[in-house]
Structure 1
Amino acid sequence: MIERYIIPRLNQALGRQASVALIGPRQAGKTTLARAIGDSRPSVYLDLEAERDRARLADPDDFLKRHADELVILDEIHRMPALFEELRGIIDEGRRAGKRTGRFLMLGSAAIDLLRQSSESLAGRIEYVELAPITAIECADDLGVMSLWLRGGFPDSLLAASDSDSLAIRLSFIRTYLERDVPMFGPRIPAEMLERFWKMLAHVQGSLLNASRLASSMAISAPTVTSYLGLLVDLLLVRRLPPYHVNVGKRLVKSPKTYIRDSGLTHALLGIETLDDLLGHPVAGPSWEGFVIESLLAVAPIGTRASFYRTSAGAEIDLILEMGARHGTWAIEIKRTRAPQVEKGFRIALDDIKPDRAFVVYGGEDGFPMGNGVEAVSVRGLAAAIATLSS
């Protein structure tokens, strides 16, 4: 198993709370990770998609109390939503007996189901940890980063024998989401319509959201576009990056940017198979930008606020990380080139918001100063630096 950066964070959460929800898109590696956590301590694993394991919870109070001294791992928890109410009583009883932390690890393939079902039943008793697919910090070298960018971070796709096999795996993944997961988690949406919408988002990767234009292209209403987008966001497949708001006396862009979160899915939706195909495609720049953003946010400290900055005059920062009083605000420009330059718009934006640190993430490996406090750094280098802030 790849040694995931998230393991220490997950163990810390289990040390703080009685129940922890590990959420992430399907096939991101949640089950493998949970089993690794379970192997490190007394535990019992239940796959709630399996009828046999659901039957073991016919009397959940009896079963869970018999395993009170073990970590109970509940995979695909949304299959038994009534279980949340039972867990609340068991957690409260355990607290009175001195067993306050590390009781339950719940896995879900989307944010929407766990948040909706547990927010009330387990308020104050649960912590959420998001598992992204494999990211740049987990790559050994620059070659690995390029492969990761092309194929995306889902393990089966990344480790496939060839680029064509990887693409086939991702296309199958997309079909599974459209035909199985979307009907399970969201409203009844025709698979063909949502696939077309998803592809349109791939074509406008990293652009400002224009719901009216998307609606016109698809002959649907703007509220319907918002509904489709919200579903893909809740399924952890699309990111809405909000604009940074600060009183600088300038006209600021107010629309969010949208990114398909896994670069491999972006490329599959556009039919891009090889790195040569990708480098010659117009989406290469926006795709790299989204790839870097996901790699950095995956390791950012809990509570980090992410946004972008853009004025109507062209001043722009691709990513702003507000990491609290301890770590401050970091401004990040993203370039795919191996010979980056600091653009005028970035300099102006830095003067506007005055971040604590400023970086240009580029396609090379070495870090070096670029003048006026701006540092050039690789995506792996900056991800590693951010990850240390949480340790």
Structure 2
Amino acid sequence: MKLGFSQAEEAFRAEAADWLQGQMAGEFRDIKGITKLTEKPERRKEWEQQLAAHKWSCIGWPEEWGGRNATLAEQVIFAEEYARAGVPGRVNHIGVELAGPTILAFGTPEQKARFLPGIAGGTTIFCQGFSEPNAGSDLAAVRTKGRLEGGEWVVNGQKIWTSLAHISDWIFVVTRTEEGSKGPKGLTFLMMPIDQPGIEIRGIEQINGDAEFNETFFTDARCPADSLIGSVGGGWQIAMGLLAFERGVSTLGQQMAFRNELDAIIEVARANGSANDPLIRQRIAKAEIGLRLMRYGALRMLSNTDHSRIDGAALTYKIQWATWRRNLGELAMDVLGQAGEVTGNPEYEWDTLPNLFLYSRADTIYGGTNQIQRNLIAERGLGMPREPRGDL
């Protein structure tokens, strides 16, 4: 396991940091520090295209598809410097980190030529259609149906928690295409254009006042027959491959954002005197230790990663960081005290730390709830017997 970086890699870090900091101090200074994914969407789409123009959008991709063929270490470095520079979250994270790598791994040459240039160029925004109201984190329980009709897939059903669907161009959807099938069998992975009469998007307002999530309804929505990735009925395998990419290099950049949040908590604790409380100091120390352990664990996980599958270590990572950050949000509110419970903004806008607390409530739910993660660790990581699942 390599925990350090070479001289050449540190030179790459300096190049990336210089460019990112220059952008945030220059043309794109108006988006620096934005935390809400729905804020200034058009400017952030322009930022996606700026990244692409300088080949910083998807550096781990092959050069022929707009990347830099960057090494794992270089991808980690860029993710860290991206967060360190205060650059806002990517509005095309789903396209760059999930859809694109999935197409690279499983798509046909024609599908690569069709989708990858737009994703890499920042002109095609993707969202994800996995979760459903009655399925939650259990992807094998999806009920959205698809059927072939006249050379097209016709889809009916509902997805929920589709992040940024309202500003996206395409959605990848797991549908049940085999009548009477149950569990992971009979699922197909489709790429569907959003701008069509058969797709309706309704926003879901969150507890922190943001509305990045949506309900997405499909009523005879359509896409060409060749829009499926993989094979008919092979959607489960594609979805599992995609989830392996979800636990990839971006995890290190995510941790740099966590670093910024913990530093903000420490700064407030020193300023308002709560750092004098031994219990608060103990909790801050525990958070610091947890963050460092996550970094070492993520580096080890990435050093051993085979992106065609999710290994045992990767299965533990989601529950680890989600639980850590939920506790961090509670620590933030305890450090703030009563000042964290009131906002003077009539638009229900909160400062960084109260917003951290509110948003962190979702961390143990999206991307697979903690309960589902424990099942995955037990069944797929440890090989234990499957939990009873009713009629599945």
Per the shorter chain, which TM-score range? Answer: under 0.3
TM-score between the two structures when normalised by the length of structure 2: 0.24
Higher helix share: 2
TM-score between the two structures when normalised by the length of structure 1: 0.24
